Structure 1
Amino acid sequence: MHLSQDIKPISYLKSNTAQVVSSATETQRAIYITQNGEAKVVIQDIKSFENTQNTLTLLKLIVQSENEINENKVIEQENMFQNLEEKLFHENL
């Protein structure tokens, strides 16, 4: 994080919106907007946002998988493939 460049007051955003959007897009760094000295919002380019969302989704899947392992909700690999083949076979009938 480059605090001197990435934290801007809302008044700066109001008068330099295009520049803020351009900067966020070019640098792919988030820009933190403050109001009355407190952080209020984050402006982020869409690619970085999508990457963040994809990362969160993967992390949620990992946690869910770990929970299922801990709760012994697992299926032997051979049984899983057999169940999958049966489902695929029945769908094609």
Structure 2
Amino acid sequence: MRYSMQVKPISFLKANAAEVLSDLAKNREPLVITQNGEAKAVLQDVASYEATQETLALLKVLALGQQDVETGRVKPLEDVVTRLRAKQMPT
């Protein structure tokens, strides 16, 4: 995806807000908004934003897990399995 193709001035956004929102939802490509020729904001549809936030959350969890491994805050698998089995409800 080339962001240079998705650049519009703020005046375009003001004059065509409904069309811009429709295009964002349909194409699911972000739109760079410029002011005085300088990039100032990026607009994206809600579904893409939510997917990005979920991805970032997952990456954060993975980074925290990696930190735990690096600092030695880990437990042997056998201990974890034993503990989980002890917590299982009888069927």
**TM tier relative to shorter chain:** 0.7 to 0.9
Name the residue aligned to 2:77: 77
Instruction: Please report how far the alpha carbon of residue 53 of structure 1 lies from its aligned counterpart in structure 2 after TM superposition.
Output: 0.6
Structure 2 stretches lacking a partner, 5+ long: none
- Structure 2 match to 1:29: 29
Report the CA distance between 1:47 and its aligned residue.
Answer: 1.0
The secondary structure found in structure 2 opposite 1:29 is: coil
Residue pairs, 1:1-93, within 5 angstroms: 1-4=2-5, 6-87=6-87
Describe the SS at the equivalent of 1:8: strand
Query: Which amino acid letter does the alignment assign opposite residue 46 of structure 1?
Result: V
Query: How far apart are the structure 2 equivalents of 1:78 and 1:9?
Result: 59
Deviation at 1:2, TM superposition (A): 4.7
TM-score calculated relative to the size of structure 1: 0.84
**8 A contact 2:3–2:30 mirrored in 1:** no
CA distance in 1, matches of 2:66, 2:85: 25
CA–CA separation in structure 1 for the residues paired with 2:32 and 2:85: 51
Closer/same/farther in 2, CA of residues 42 and 2 from structure 1, 3 Å limit: closer
RMSD: 1.7
Task: Write out the 4+ residue segments of structure 1 that deviate beyond 2 Å after TM superposition.
Answer: 81-89
Gap regions ≥5 residues in structure 1: none
After TM superposition, the score normalised by the length of structure 2 is 0.86
Work out the percentage of aligned pairs sharing the same amino acid: 39
Aligned residues: 89
Between 75-84 and 58-67, report the one with greater CA deviation: 75-84
The secondary structure found in structure 1 opposite 2:8 is: strand
